[in-house]
Structure 1
Amino acid sequence: MPDYYPFNPAPRAPSEPPPANTCDSQFHVFGDPVTYPIRPGARFEMPTATIDAALKMHRALGIERGVVVQATTYGSDHQVVIDALKKAGPDYRGCANAIALKERDDGYIEQLHDAGVRGARFTFRKELGVGLSAQEFQRATDRLRELGWYAKIQPEKDGILDSVSLYENLDIPVLIDHLGRADAALGVDDPNVIKTIELLKKGNFWVMLSLGEKISHQGAPWDDVLPIARAYIDAAPDRVIWASDWPHPLSKTPPPNDAELLELLYRYAPDAEERQRILVDNPAELFGFKND
């Protein structure tokens, strides 16, 4: 199993606090492999990236809500997510790995729903080994419709174009991760960006402003991703959300302090009203939080 860099262990406060009820729309949790066995063929594990460590990071940044997204490390065994949601409390939701819709029975899926899971992530990165065939994908999205869950898309390393035909006509909420894996060198002219904006105009597609630090070709402070994020915000201001992607799996260089990623969002959206939508109102709508 390859070695990757761990998360920054000393999260600091951001330059300014985020709005109340800010949501980290994707982070992963891991744990002791004795308690949470990894699946055969898993590409990575991060046993120190526990829910306690995640909540420490959230407290440091001023984040009050979050979505625990099942890592490919555990396949269809979601016990680590179920346990994390119990500890995190009612201001947290879960997102399953879609392989569970193929491998697990209805009783298990209902258990996930009862725990707070409200979506399923479809991984199109073939090297991670948890993909579905086109027929399995169709069956899984039919089940999502019955459950009232959203579909979450993890694009291939080079974007969404090779897989988009599978989901572009879905009639359920669809969340595209990681800026659609845009090519920052091409900016807003990247066909992936153009296609993502086309999808956003359908009304049921969402995009996650995350992974800018890895998509960037220039490195910190990641100026080359700003036009891409800004294009998505302008296209669908009510259907863009933000995520840390903590603990930054598969990092080939040391991950930044997570406060820097929230500050990057502040640069995407310098207006307080926009930040309120991206960090609070939009995720509340998609994940089912109630704003006081």
Structure 2
Amino acid sequence: MPEYYPFNPEPRAAQQAPPMNSCDAQFHVFGPTDVYPPRPEAPFNMPSATIGAALKMHRALGIERGVIVQATTYGADHSVILDALEQAGPNYRGCANAIVLKEREEAYIEALHNAGVRGARFTFRKELGVGLSPKEFRLAADRLREMGWYMKIQPEKNGILESVELYENIDTPVLIDHLGRADADLGVADPNVQKTIELLKKGNFWVMLSLGEKISTQGYPWDDVLPIARAYIDAAPDRVVWASDWPHPLSKSPPPNDAELLELLYRYAPDDAERQKILVDNPAELFGFER
């Protein structure tokens, strides 16, 4: 299993506190391998990135809500999510990996729902080994509709265009991760960005403002991703959310302090009313928190 850089262990406060009830729309949790064994073919594991470490980061930033997204490391075994949701409390939701809809029984899916899971992530990065065939995708999408869950899309490394035909006509809520995996060198002209904006105009598509630090080709302070994020906010101000993507899996260089990522959002959205939507109102709508 390759070695990747760990998360910053000393999160600081951002230069400005976020609004009350701000939400981190995606972070992952792991745990000791003897308690949560990774699947044999998992490309990475981060056992030190526990729910306790995640909550420490949130406290430092002033984040009060969050969505724990199942890492591909564990496949269909969502034990780490179930335990983390119990520890984190009612201000947290979960997002399953869609492979669970193929591999586990109905009672297990119901248990996830009862614990606070409200969505499933469909991973199109083939090297992670948890993808679904087109037929399996359609069956899982039907099950999502029955459960009242949202669909979450983890794009390929080169964007959404390779797989978008599978879900562009879905009529349930669809959240596209990581700025649609835009090409920062192309900016708003990137066909992936243009397609994401087209989807946002449908009314049921959402986009997650995350991973700007990795999508950037210029490096800190990541100025080249600002126009992309801004284009999404302008296209659908009521359907954009922010995420830290802590603990920053597969990082080939040291991850930033998570406060810097919140401060990057402040540069995307300098207006307080926009920040209120992105951090509080929009995630409350999508993830089912109290308004």
1: CA distance between counterparts of 2:175 and 2:31? 27
1:256 aligns with 2:250: no
2: CA distance between counterparts of 1:33 and 1:148? 33
Superposition map of 1:164-203 within 5 A = 164-203=164-203
Superposition map of 1:273-288 within 5 A = 273-288=273-288
Secondary structure in 2 matching 1:274: helix
What is aligned with 2:133? 133
What is aligned with 2:50? 50
Kindly provide the CA deviation profile for residues 243-285 of structure 1, in whole angstroms up to 9, marking residues without a partner as x.
Answer: 0000000000000000000000000000000000000000000
Letter aligned with residue 40 of structure 2: P
What is aligned with 2:117? 117
What is aligned with 1:98? 98
What is aligned with 2:157? 157
Secondary structure in 2 matching 1:219: coil
What is aligned with 1:28? 28
Deviation at residue 63 of structure 1 after TM alignment? 0.1
Which consecutive unaligned segments of at least 5 residues does structure 2 have?
Answer: none
Deviation at residue 40 of structure 1 after TM alignment? 1.5
Letter aligned with residue 66 of structure 2: G
2: CA distance between counterparts of 1:220 and 1:40? 35
Letter aligned with residue 8 of structure 1: N
2: CA distance between counterparts of 1:121 and 1:78? 13
2: CA distance between counterparts of 1:239 and 1:273? 14
2: CA distance between counterparts of 1:134 and 1:111? 26
1: CA distance between counterparts of 2:133 and 2:260? 38
Runs of 4+ in 1 over 6 A off after TM superposition: none
Letter aligned with residue 180 of structure 1: G
- TM-score, normalised to structure 1, is 1.00
- TM-score, normalised to structure 2, is 1.00
Letter aligned with residue 288 of structure 2: G
Secondary structure in 1 matching 2:196: helix
Secondary structure in 1 matching 2:37: coil
Secondary structure in 1 matching 2:93: strand
2: CA distance between counterparts of 1:255 and 1:51? 18
Letter aligned with residue 24 of structure 2: D
1: CA distance between counterparts of 2:106 and 2:239? 30
2: CA distance between counterparts of 1:82 and 1:31? 12
Q: CA RMSD in A?
A: 0.3
Deviation at residue 69 of structure 1 after TM alignment? 0.1
1:143 aligns with 2:148: no
Letter aligned with residue 242 of structure 2: W
2: CA distance between counterparts of 1:236 and 1:171? 17
